[in-house]
Structure 1
């Protein structure tokens, strides 16, 4: 398993919004969809929202241990992550085997392009409806039914040049 660490840098990444904003949105979305935001799910989301780079599950466990003194079981953290992904409150960065809080208020099925900075490790996300339409056309023309679509681009963010 690839272990991802947050890289220190002197600029705010786009997805690094205040945990309170992420929690407020999560509470609203969960209430609308009649989902339960348990304390552990809330804590995992808080740590994701506070991070400027994607966080792996085992790094989350260490952060949670450092913050509260208790070490949750890996299965507990993975279940919380599964819930957050399913609810559209977090994203999995496939190439990093790590997670970020969702920076945009879009539907879970919407295609998002992740721009990953090779220098500082931060991830920005952008909705990509036109890319999704193009990919859907390509798949349809080939008789292919995609189970998921992930677009990750690597390079340098505006701050790292």
Structure 2
């Protein structure tokens, strides 16, 4: 079982980005400067962050105009390769706690403070596989969100 990591320090973010760059290069994927910037902002965010919040941060850090489609393309890349997740309930993005390990996760979303915890356990994958097999259903994506109150807010 794994839970999401606490907010990363700047040093931890740089180590994470270096690892992802290496992984992308090994897989023949382009980890562009914009993808890196978007990923860095998501890693540094205290809570899940929306696309337009990211766009605002990118615009304020750059002299160039950053168009929404370019940010969405970067987000799509990061999602497709399992580096980030997106919540259905808020459409906000946050870093995956296990970006180099393919897994199925559930997300525990606190209604009070907005904190999101990623919960991954082999039984989640087992259960979903059994459901797919018994119903002859081919899942293309699954997002499991549990809404409630975190331990800190209780």
Q: TM-score, normalised by structure 2?
A: 0.86
Q: CA deviation at 1:84?
A: 0.8
Residues 36-47 of structure 1 aligned to structure 2 (within 5 Å):
36-47=30-41
Q: CA deviation at 1:117?
A: 1.4
User: 4+ residue stretches of structure 1 with deviation over 4 A?
Assistant: none
- Where does residue 8 of structure 1 map in the other structure? none
Q: CA deviation at 1:107?
A: 3.3
1:100 aligns with 2:94: yes
Alignment counterpart, residue 122 of structure 1, candidates 99, 115, 122? 115
- Where does residue 19 of structure 2 map in the other structure? 25
Q: Distance in 2 between matches of 1:113 and 1:72?
A: 32
Alignment counterpart, residue 134 of structure 1, candidates 121, 127, 140? 127
Q: TM-score, normalised by structure 1?
A: 0.82
- Where does residue 143 of structure 1 map in the other structure? 136
1:14 aligns with 2:1: no
- Gap runs ≥5 in structure 1: 1-12
Q: Distance in 1 between matches of 2:148 and 2:87?
A: 15
- Gap runs ≥5 in structure 2: none
CA RMSD of aligned residues (A): 1.8
Q: Distance in 2 between matches of 1:101 and 1:46?
A: 9
Q: Distance in 2 between matches of 1:51 and 1:150?
A: 21
Q: For 1:90-137, what per-residue CA distance to the aligned partner results, in whole angstroms no more than 9, with x for missing partners?
A: 1111211111111224434x2111111111112111223211211221
**DSSP-derived class of the 2:147 partner:** strand
**DSSP-derived class of the 2:98 partner:** coil
Q: For 1:29-81, what per-residue CA distance to the aligned partner results, in whole angstroms no more than 9, with x for missing partners?
A: 21221211111000000110011211111111011122334441010000001
Q: CA deviation at 1:16?
A: 2.4
- Where does residue 5 of structure 1 map in the other structure? none
**DSSP-derived class of the 1:95 partner:** coil
Count of aligned pairs? 148
Native 8 Å contact 1:61 1:71 kept in 2: no
